[in-house]
Structures are given as C-alpha cells and as structure tokens.
Amino acid sequence: MKNFFPSILLVFCVISVSCSINNSNYGKETSIVGTFVMNQGSGSANGSVTHYHADTLTNELFNEINDRPLTGEMLAASFGSEKGYFLMSEGNSSVIEKVNLDDFKSEMTSASVANATDVVCVSDTFVYATIAGADEMTSGELLKIDATTLSIKETIKVGINPTKIAYDKGKLVYVANTSDLENGIMIVDLVRNQTIDTVKIETLVNPVDMVIDVHSNLWVLCEGEGESPKSNAGLVRISYNTNEEGERTVTNYPFGGYVGKGRDGIAISLGGTTLYYINEGTYSMRISEDDLSSAKILFPEDRYSTKVFDAISVSSRSAEFFATVSDEDKVVVFDSYGLNEEDKEILVGENPGKCLFR
C-alpha cells in the first residue's frame, strides 16, 4: 500500500497536463500522430500548434521543431495525407506555412496575399484558399494553389465575404458567403474550375461553418445576427443531388436563439451519420432528422450539459471529443460516449480553436 498514493499522483499529473512536456522522439519516429490543437494566438502572441498523444503534451510544437515561431495569428489550418497547411495572418497580410507532417518541419512559406479567410487541402496536388473582397463592391476569390510550390494557379470569383470552405473528396468545393448582399453557398466543380451553382439560404443568416455527411449532403451553421442570443440562426442541410429541375433541396433547422462562437461550432461523426453542434450546450442529432426536437445533449454530466464551448472536434483515431475553452487556453477531453469522469483536460496555447487529427 505504501506505493499507492505516489502512483495515483503520477497518473493525475499525466492526465491534467498544465505545462509543456517535450517529446524527444520528434523527428525520429516514422511520423507524428495524435491530436493537434490549433491555437489562434492574439495581437500580442503568435498562433501555435499543441500536440497531444498518449497523455504526452507538447505546446509550441512548430517552434520546437523549427527553432522559430509561426508568424502572426492562425486563421485556419488543414491536413493532407503528408503535408499540413497553416494560414497565418498579420493585419491584412496572410501567408500559408507548409509543413511535412512526418516530422513537422517547415518546407516553405507562400507569398503573402491580402484578406485571406480560409485554407483547405484537397489533395497532394492542390490547396484552396479564400480571400475577401477589398471593399463592399469587390468580389472575393477562391484561389487554386499548387500544393508543391504554393503558387496560385487559378482564381474563381466568389462572394464579397467568403467565410469558410468545405471539400467533398473528389467532387466539389463549397464556399460560404456572408454579406449584406449575399447569404448562401457557392458550389465549385473542381474539374471545370468554375462555379456550377449558388444556393441561397433564406431566413437564416451568416453561414460560418460547414461539414459534409455520409450522403455528401452539406450542413451549414448560420450564426445569425444581433446580440446574444442571436436571432435568425440555425442549421441548414443542402442536398448533394439535384431534382429534375436541377435544384438542390434546402432544409432549415432554426434555433430559438443562438449562444455560441459560430465558426468551429459544428462537427460530424466519423461515419458521417451524426451531427454535433454547439448552442447553449453541445448537442448530437442524426442526419436523418427533419427538425431539432430529437437532438440530445452530447455531454450529459451536469457541469458540462449547458457549457458553451468555443469549438467541438471528433478524433479520427479514438472517436473522443475535444471541446475548446478559448478564454482559459484549455481543451476538455471526453470519451466516445461524451463523458469526462476523470476530469481530463489539457492546457494548450493562447486562444485555442478546433483540433486536427492524424
């Protein structure tokens, strides 16, 4: 019995990580796997990446590997099969930082562009990014970028203020647009490199995040408008297939009021059959439902049932849930049932957002 208390203390220290624990195996393993927390940073602190795997935590992963920080705030990030891409911004100027995911070493930094809003890797060949228009009269653009050289190959006109990109593998790119003049989703054919459809969203406003389900239907989170709880907010499902008239079916799932951060507040299950969203708590709903009445609280413990997290992510390795508390620089880790009976949380970099997995 004399060794029992020290053993319990050691387990607690590993789970409730509160400092940077360096992994000396970086660069020696075949590849770095696990959970990667994207920390946005702030005006006074650069964005960063936190790596978490097997109860080992490393803050400032990019810094440790490359002996320099990522520059500016992190607006977005995307992983391909071998490379990672980080959209970093200082003021109106943005660059894409490309890393090799096997060792997290930087391979190159793109030329700067103005007013970038999102980046998504669609293959080992191409990356897409969006930039907002310079003013209320100028269209934004979807940039097709060579993944090897990070040079811009083509530009496609989109809405004035594109907020988010979603990619349906091998098929389509979706661009969410939000402005006083536009409120909808533009659909881009990757083969033809042109917009093939624009879906207007009625009633609900300000689409800021999107996921794609098992049937290739698009789910959109609209954050609404006004003070919290915001009005005209909710979820929208847009069908992948068109009817005989060439139109896509649009189904609205309005919230009574919305309390949440917006972007990063929606996720999809590994099988693509269950939707997760944040609104005065975190909820799960089968994609086959016609309204929100069947939605269930995802984190049933009293301390979390009404907690408004800033981002929700589902691990592709373990099906665990990672829920972000940005103002406390931490991520709460729930098991695949939505429970956190061991008070498992990790302290990460400044202003964490969504997590990526490998």
pLDDT tens readout for residues 13-30: 334 443 333 443 444 445
Q: Per-residue confidence at 43, pLDDT binned at 50, 70, 90? A: confident
pLDDT of residue 10: 38
pLDDT at position 58 over 60: yes
Task: Provide CB contacts within 8 A for 4, sequence distance 6+.
Answer: none
Cα 96 to Cα 103: distance, rounded to the nearest angstrom: 18
pLDDT of residue 6: 43
Closest CA to 190 of 169, 216, 176: 169
Task: Provide CB contacts within 8 A for 101, sequence distance 6+.
Answer: 31, 32, 79, 80, 82, 83, 84, 358
pLDDT of residue 335: 97
- Report pLDDT digits (tens) over 245-283: 889 999 999 999 999 999 999 999 999 999 999 999 999
Query: What 3-state DSSP class applies to 4?
Result: helix
Mean pLDDT score of the chain, rounded to an integer? 90
pLDDT of residue 30: 54
pLDDT at position 8 over 50: no
pLDDT at position 180 over 90: no
pLDDT of residue 26: 47
HSE toward the beta carbon, residue 104, CA cutoff 13 A: 28
What percent of the chain has a predicted confidence (pLDDT) above 90?
80
HSE toward the beta carbon, residue 100, CA cutoff 13 A: 11
Mean pLDDT of 295-308: 97
CA angle, 50 then 93 then 37, to 5°: 10
pLDDT at position 227 over 90: yes
Query: What 3-state DSSP class applies to 71?
Result: coil
Query: 71 and 91 in contact (C-beta within 8 Å)?
Result: no
Q: Per-residue confidence at 79, pLDDT binned at 50, 70, 90? A: very high
DSSP state of 265: -
Q: What tokens were used for 188?
A: 């881009």
Mean pLDDT of 83-91: 95
pTM score of the predicted model = 0.90
Measured on CA atoms in the order 352, 310, 345, 121, is the torsion positive or negative?
negative
- Report pLDDT digits (tens) over 312-336: 999 999 999 999 999 999 999 999 9
pLDDT of residue 98: 98
One-letter amino acid for residue 292 of the chain: L
Report strand pairing: 93-100 vs 83-90: antiparallel
Q: What tokens were used for 191?
A: 């083969």
- Report pLDDT digits (tens) over 130-179: 999 988 788 999 999 999 999 999 999 999 999 999 999 778 999 999 97
Q: What tokens were used for 212?
A: 């794609």
Q: Per-residue confidence at 124, pLDDT binned at 50, 70, 90? A: confident
Q: Which region among 106-110, 226-230, 240-244 has the lowest average model confidence (pLDDT)?
A: 240-244
Query: What 3-state DSSP class applies to 107?
Result: strand
